[in-house]
Amino acid sequence: MKTVFLAFLAISSVLSERVSYDGYKVLRTQYLNMTTSKALQSLQLEDDFDFWQDPVIGRSADIMASPQMLPELQQLLSKHGIHYTVMIEDVEALTQSQMKPRNKLDAGFDWEDYQGHDEINAFIEGLASSNSEWISIKNIGQSHEGRDMKVIEITKAGPGKPIAWIEAGIHAREWIASATATFMINELVNNYEENKAIVDNLNIHFLPMANPDGYEYSRNSDRMWRKNRNRDNKAAGEKACVGTDLNRNWAYHWGESGVSDNPCSDIYCGKGPFSEMESTNIKNYVEALSPVPVLGHCIHSYSQLWLWPYGYDYNALPDNWQEIKKLAEDAADALYQVHGTVFDPINSADLYPASGASDDWYRGGLKTRYAFTTELRDTGRYGFQLPASQIIPSGEELFAGMKVVFEKLIADDMAGK
């Protein structure tokens, strides 16, 4: 019995140990050309470095490296003539600044700190219980580790009205995505009088946490974790590693570009389209909605971009790409008016071709009229570790942009489009 107990303690210690990023640095390259971007794209498919920003022509790439791998990265950059600066000197110091103890005795839900998955679910459930005539909660399934994935349906507009679908938090380390989603939910519900023209005419369905296992693992064990926590993604002859990139797992042009078939890669696309429980849960839910949503919107971070499809290949465009592009531009303009934050509205593939993303599937598979991905604050000073003090301003500005989108959906409906 003693042996079993000691073994349990050892396992518990390993499971609870937090990954340290002591000595890790993030390098930012100069703006890349075709040659240098291709060199780094090849490097990205390996498992040695974590690309915080993808290598794209005309943009810089942000790359995190361990102390052991930093000299190799610097040598590779020098070999290809790529100049760089140190963007984050000490990743662990930045991580520790976010890991202050949370006071569980504090009452209520606010946007002064990042909330856990259970707290987010409790928050939306509380809104539904207080407004049960026009808000409901749907459990769309469980994650690999058994966490409930819950959607809040704001349906005061009633049956037959257009549906906007918004998904956040599909990448675990992008905490600001889910925090901003809950901020917008709160604005629509608790500030109803200010937003009644939207709420009365548009049904809005939010999934504030698309990757609950990865998010909790990021909070408790590895701040830089990106994927889900599927432990059964090993194909025959492959090395066993945990997790699939849920934003490379969708069926529209799955596996064609910007992905890896290495389970250890951060951009591993899975064994096949919808191989993951989380992406399958979302697919099944949105496919059952009637009418088909007119909007599929994905909230990510970072880079301050308003992306529009398709992202799987260059010059692959929806038939109504011009109106999608115009709406992205109008939304980014409205966002700028709030705090002067610049979001660049661009085609997703112009950033970097990557297939199997959810927004591509929303437009190309589900056939939503509009689809977008917003990459929230910032442009690299904090990267994925955006301070909690920026949650509210991030929510305020994104909500201003989304109101332009919502109003366009309502106008289209009234015009019979």
| β-strand partners of 391 | none
Q: Is the model more confident about 94 or about 10?
A: 94
Residue 238 appears among annotated catalytic residues: no
pLDDT value, residue 101: 54
What's the pTM value of the predicted model, to 2 decimals? 0.92
How far does CA 399 lie from the centroid of its chain?
16
Mark 186-206 as b/e (b = at least 16 C-beta within 10 Å). Answer: bbbbeebeebeebbebbbbbb
User: In sequence order, what are the beta bridge partners of 206?
Assistant: 152, 166
State which H helix or E strand residue 181 sits in: helix 175-190
Question: What is the reported pLDDT for 97?
Answer: 78
Distance of CA 40 to the CA centre of its chain: 23
Set out the domains of the chain in order of their start, with CATH numbers.
Answer: 18-98 (3.30.70.340), 117-219+268-414 (3.40.630.10)
Amino acid type, 95: T
Question: Residue 337: its pLDDT value, please?
Answer: 98
Q: How confident is the model at residue 41 (pLDDT cuts 50, 70, 90)?
A: confident
pLDDT, position 51: 93
d(CA 228, CA 209): 12
162-209 tens-digit pLDDT: 999 999 999 999 999 999 999 999 999 999 999 999 999 999 999 999
* CA separation, residue 173 to residues 213, 355, 386, 402 (Å): 11, 20, 10, 23
Residue 321, token pair as written in the block: 């790409």
Joined tokens for residue 291: 């009418």
- Confidence at residue 46, expressed as pLDDT on a 0 to 100 scale: 76
Q: What is the pLDDT, as a whole number, of residue 105? A: 43
- At 396, give phi and psi (nearest 5°): -60, -45
Over residues 329-350, the pLDDT tens digits come to: 999 999 999 999 999 999 999 8
pLDDT tops 90 at residue 100: no
Q: One-letter amino acid identity for 65?
A: A
Could you give the CA distance from residue 210 to residue 181 in angstroms, rounded to a whole number? 11
Q: What is the pLDDT of residues 105-149, one digit of tens each?
A: 445 799 999 999 999 999 999 999 999 999 999 999 999 999 999
Amino acid at the residue 303: S
Active-site entry in 167, 187, 276, 375: 375
Other residues' Cβ atoms within 10 Å of the Cβ of residue 225: 24
